Structure 1
């Protein structure tokens, strides 16, 4: 797949930070809609690029969509500011600058008329807050997050250790913990488990100290764009997905898709392609509704 490197300087408390990502485009004319992919804690853009059938980017580009795989601030090739500065709100604010740039035209590309956020876990929470505070998105695809904690939530919090080679206050998962906490035993091939471990990224103490913001029901209630919520049936970090519709009272359209034989990190499971297909169907339905409304 061909990609356009994205590097965007954004305002920061100490001057500027840089966001990094890769924008993947289908062949032919540039689409008028772009998906921005937002990873969770201890993940970066590689979550969306898992080998084989778990590669969300490849699926969407083949389906004709433009997709920006982003390294959130503090992850991957983006800037790594002091850990206490990398908060949930800092993620929301830097993302807002990116959305403005996408709508204005970035890296020599035409402006995108529509921006859809696709989040996983913390990335879902950041998308929700961005939609509530800035009205940044035209639709939301939210994965791996509900408002109800499951039995492994505290295990995930306790699985962290300092990340080597990064500023103080950057943490990552202890060796072997990802498979235990984020995967469904029997639902992941060994090669994907190895990829999952090898591509682990970081969380900052600033994000950890502010993460409760993403669960505030006022944010999800303020979302006024269509929502697709995707959860793994075997997720033990977040549960009770059937109750989530009540948290999105302002959304004009809300759908839930449950992925069988998948836990929290859905994309590394054999069944990930099922939710990719469900997202494609939903995107087509939203696009048709937009055309009808504007006709």
Structure 2
């Protein structure tokens, strides 16, 4: 497990960012890098009410998406797939999907039900169980050739962020669809909630809701390592959260009977942000105890990191280790 003493954070971070830059140069092929392609796809899924809904996704890849390890990325609450494909700001890249595509992965960033371009069912219908069933149906179709991409993927990695990490964990525990699981910005060691219960009670009066910008800035960013222009533009990425997903997760997010964390058998990588108020790095020593059935568990603490890993200036300290971990277990595509 990667652990850094608090007093060593600043010099370590400087070295790590410098290493990340050198690594990117080393990883870049000598020939001109092929253009990243983006393909919009839609997957029909059936929920417990018997109706069919659509889950939208954006596939990022170079050249062809065939014969590549597929990362299926699930965004967190009040975001959509654009969390994984945020635009450059002040010359700095924030797109996880394009970074991984440049390393020869295929990345499918989906909009969870009720978000982005996916169907918007009744807000109370979209519980963790229903959201998980929808993602499972997408992954099951990707294992065969009867899907919008008309290609069966042999290797699939589920990658989640925040509430998307809980969805990904539930899917992997219930169905075991992926070869490996990566969770970011979410742990299983109980910590005091950073959300004001009075504010949540008001928000939960609506079937779909989001967080106000001022709350997002405080909860999601370490201002010392995030561009103020990115924090200001966070409003461009805002989406809504179905009430059913919030009420079926938030009171029970540390209960393995709900998250099914103890039923995940694949390899697992957990990334925690040192300064993340939602899932702080201080819980790392106990985090691997939750994954009682996983074949192996790696827990990494990212120095100086707030909650939204992809939207911090040192996002590469998350991205490069994820690539290294996947490559070590499944091979570099």
TM-score, normalised relative to structure 1: 0.90
Runs of 4+ in 1 over 4 A off after TM superposition: 159-163
Deviates more, 1:150-159 or 1:204-213: 150-159
Structure 1 residues 236 and 226, CA gap change in structure 2 (3 angstroms): same
CA deviation after TM superposition for structure 1 residue 20, in Å: 0.3
- 1: CA distance between counterparts of 2:186 and 2:198? 15
Match of 2:279 among 238, 242, 245: 238
Q: What residue in structure 1 maps to residue 124 of structure 2? A: 84
Q: Does 1:195 align with 2:233?
A: yes
Q: What residue in structure 1 maps to residue 148 of structure 2? A: 107
CA deviation after TM superposition for structure 1 residue 28, in Å: 4.5
CA deviation after TM superposition for structure 1 residue 64, in Å: 0.5
> Over the residues paired in the alignment, what is the CA RMSD in angstroms?
2.3
Matched residue count: 287
CA deviation after TM superposition for structure 1 residue 125, in Å: 0.7
- Residues 161 and 173 in structure 1, CA contact (< 8 A), matched pair in contact too: no
Gapped regions of structure 2 (runs ≥ 5): 1-35
CA deviation after TM superposition for structure 1 residue 29, in Å: 6.1
- 1: CA distance between counterparts of 2:201 and 2:72? 27
Q: What residue in structure 1 maps to residue 15 of structure 2? A: none
Structure 1 residues 42 and 16, CA gap change in structure 2 (3 angstroms): same
Q: What residue in structure 2 maps to residue 8 of structure 1? A: 43
Structure 1 residues 169 and 90, CA gap change in structure 2 (3 angstroms): same
Q: What residue in structure 1 maps to residue 101 of structure 2? A: 61
**Higher CA-based Rg:** 2
Match of 2:321 among 274, 278, 285: 278
CA deviation after TM superposition for structure 1 residue 136, in Å: 1.3
Match of 1:143 among 184, 198, 209: 184
Match of 1:222 among 246, 263, 273: 263
- Residues 92 and 130 in structure 1, CA contact (< 8 A), matched pair in contact too: yes
Q: What residue in structure 1 maps to residue 212 of structure 2? A: 174
Q: What residue in structure 2 maps to residue 133 of structure 1? A: 174
Q: What residue in structure 2 maps to residue 257 of structure 1? A: 300
CA deviation after TM superposition for structure 1 residue 285, in Å: 0.1
Gapped regions of structure 1 (runs ≥ 5): none
1:20-52 deviation line (CA, Å, top 9, x unaligned): 011112224623421110011111101111233
- 2: CA distance between counterparts of 1:14 and 1:246? 38
